[in-house]
Structure 1
């Protein structure tokens, strides 16, 4: 293949990765970061501030890498992310200029004045009946209570929603008001996390394509990317800041192992990945063990491999111990550490993982066709067991390493049933 064609392919792959990432990231803005409108923003912003100050809950505090990347880099990249619902609520609460005749007409269309006046009328009847029940036959007390209620001018809160919403906006607590104001510095931090997600999604796609090329044709490797990205929406109900960061570093580790690159570089990748998810990085040591075991005959070779495996295992373990015992000893778990009973009794802990990994599971017997997978697949067993014991696999983002690892196997299996050659189809 000519250099020009290779360059064109790489450029096209980058464009596809950017488009897929932008679509998915935009979806997470609406479904994850904006699921409770500005309340979600408030919670996300508050979590970032607590992580930077070292006061976040465990184990999220130990995954501080994504927070510092945003604090010192990504929040300064001005990529706009549209969240129309949150923006609309923000303007309703904070901007008197929003309430034009058109905006008021929109409210009237969805919530007609006649209906609002009827609600007022019904409430007045209920209030009067309640006052009569409280005051009994005392006319003086009845009049006093009715005058007190009338002085509240509560009717206008229903008949004039614009005034009501602006009044609510004026009286919001300062930290909540900053979350509502989408132009605030705090929301720039939130956008920084979204931007980081976008770029790490692109990186994950590019690395997955490269990983797939060790087993698949260029077209099938691209299909593996599309398959991965099409499954990812299932992760958006519980989507962590570090999800794609950890996925990209895990893939980088896989590539370094399969290409037998510098061991020092692998250690560096595992260390960096541990700042996102040490519990994922630790399993790269098992993959290294399986892939290189038969390559080192003799005691010296086995000893060298043992030292490498122990080192790659020790890095994430030591990082976690350092974070929990020295850096952030005050961080407490927000849930019980052991989650086995919860998972055994919660049906979605089985349904969602099955759906998430269903396509790779269909072609599990293809694992033995590739030397790499045949030697290394065993790491999946302790990984899944760990997630059922100390995590909640209904949050299927936790199983992304398994999906990334098995996607080439799934695509290779699919290609047997849907061959690229038209004459064989």
Structure 2
């Protein structure tokens, strides 16, 4: 393999790992360990077919994790989770206990803890005396409190934390066990996202390369990575990395005039991830390949059929009891300032060079798909959730690169 190809693959690997690691910190570990429970118990509902719409219709990621990725030995790091695991006594590393002792002594020395306990005991005794007006009752309450060993909670908080967690049901404690079903699923989701992030950035390079030179296509990978991370402000839907990969792959197939059946099969695959994205790919295909021939019209209708049919089957036949977990029409898009700010920041640089769309036949033919795409997201989507716009961002990224090249294509001293 050429040195450039090897370097490209290494770059794609590194970028995919970085964006997955950041996603793991912000999604699976949001609200500390609470995010892990949310992902785990939602996963169980989706596997049983009892999850809310529309996420229930996007079955691909749940079954990929359940039957493939949760068996991966790959583990993902989160600093917050590791600290909690160590403080609660579940970190098996040889220095865990020593680190706990040193950190505690450094930030909350024994002398200060003893002083704090005495002050707290005195405060409690005074408040109890004021409340009961009886020193005997106060003494009994304080003796009871001392018997349950509340002072030890401050003298040795890590032992207390471990005993407290150990008293909880296994369904709670399993979050700290490396071999628990919950931990396997959490890491499985991250590994799945990494695999599809790698595929996404690889096909993204091919997509950009079909418009620009190697240097700008390579630069475009980092541009997309930055805005992908920005979209993590709301990225709890597990299917999105798969969906964006399939969308970019579809655009590349259309751009390179690949056989109609390859695009059709990709659309069918997308119906198990996001039927709306599949329908927009069908529209893109129709705009790019439209000819005044009966065979052309039949193929366009054929590509549009799977997402329309699967939308009906998911909602009316397969999961008829799934209800939407949010309002269908989002009137708050017109009152929430972040619904304007986030998309504006997201597309600001691209909009500077939007006129460059006119210079390419592909964009002149296909740009109308953006109209229903933005209308749909403005009415039934939440505009501040800018992950929704990643397909459009990937579509317009070559326009941005073309504009950057025209702006900086000068000889400087």
The two structures have a TM-score, normalised by structure 2, of 0.93
Say whether 1:233 aligns with 2:229: yes
Structure 1 distance, partners of 2:309, 2:112, is 64
Asked if the contact 2:350–2:396 (Cα under 8 Å) also holds between the matched residues in 1, the reply is yes
The answer to whether the aligner puts 1:276 opposite 2:267 as a matched pair is no
**Aligned: 1:372 with 2:367:** no
- 2:56 is equivalent to residue 61 of structure 1: yes
Pair 1:187-2:183 in alignment? yes
Partner of 1:166: 162
* Contact 1:99/1:162 (8 A) holds in 2: no
Counterpart check, 1:118 vs 2:115? yes
Distance in structure 2 (CA, Å) of the matches to 1:311 and 1:124: 77
1:351 aligns with 2:348: no
Distance 1:135 1:90, change over 3 A: same
Q: 2:253 maps to what in 1?
A: 256
**Shift in Å, 1:163:** 1.6
Aligned to 1:222: 218
Partner in structure 2 of residue 202 of structure 1: 198
Aligned partners of 2:53 and 2:323 also within 8 Å: yes
Indicate if the aligned counterparts of 2:24 and 2:190 stay in contact, CA closer than 8 A.
yes
The whole-number CA distance in structure 1 between the counterparts of 2:325 and 2:376 is 18
2:3 aligns to what? 8
Is the counterpart of residue 286 in structure 1 residue 276 in structure 2? Answer: no
Pairing 1:76-155 to 2, within 5 Å after superposition: 76-95=71-90, 100-136=97-133, 138-155=134-151
Secondary structure in 1 matching 2:317:
helix
Q: Which runs of 5+ in 1 are unaligned?
A: none
Deviation at 1:191, TM superposition (A): 1.1
Q: 1:326 — aligned with what?
A: 317
> Are 2:305 and 1:314 aligned?
yes
Query: Structure 1 residue 24 and structure 2 residue 19: aligned?
Result: yes
Is 1:386 aligned with 2:376? yes
The number of equivalent residue pairs is 410
1:337 is aligned to 328
Tell me the distance in 1 between the aligned counterparts of 2:71 and 2:184: 8
The equivalent position to 1:43 in structure 2, one of 38, 43, 63, is 38
In 1, Cα distance between equivalents of 2:259 and 2:322:
35
Pick closer, same or farther for the CA change 1:113–1:338 going to 2, 3 Å. farther
Q: Is the 8 A contact 2:58 2:273 kept in 1?
A: yes
Unaligned runs of 5+ in 2: none
Matches of 2:91 and 2:279, distance apart in 1:
54
Deviations 1:305-334 (A, max 9, x none): 333333322311221221122222222222
CA contact (8 A) 2:76 2:187 kept: yes
Distance 2:45 2:209 in 1: 41
Give distance in 1, aligned partners of 2:91 and 2:355: 63
* Structure 1 residue 60 displacement after superposition: 1.0
| TM-score computed with the length of structure 1 as normaliser | 0.90
Cα distance in structure 2, aligned partners of 1:304 and 1:118: 86
Q: Partners of 1:182 and 1:418 in 2: how far apart?
A: 51
SS in 1 for 2:274: helix
Please, what is the CA RMSD of the aligned residues? 2.1
Give the Å deviation of 1:145. 2.8
- State the 1:99 CA deviation: 5.8
Match of 2:209 in 1: 213
Tell me: CA distance 1:111–1:213, structure 2 relative to 1, closer, same or farther (3 Å): same
Give the Cα separation in 1 of the matches to 2:175 and 2:98.
Answer: 27
Native 8 Å contact 1:279 1:316 kept in 2: yes
Q: For 2:268 and 2:384, locate their aligned partners in 1 and report how far apart those are by CA, in whole Å.
A: 27
Deviations 1:79-131 (A, max 9, x none): 23222331231232243877634421211212233333333233223322322
1:94–1:334 Cα change, 3 Å? farther
Residues 346-400 of structure 1: CA deviation (Å, up to 9, x unaligned):
1111111111222211111111110011111111121112112111121111110
Is the 8 Å Cα contact of residues 17 and 202 (structure 1) preserved in structure 2?
A: yes
The runs of at least 4 aligned residues of structure 1 exceeding 6 Å deviation read none
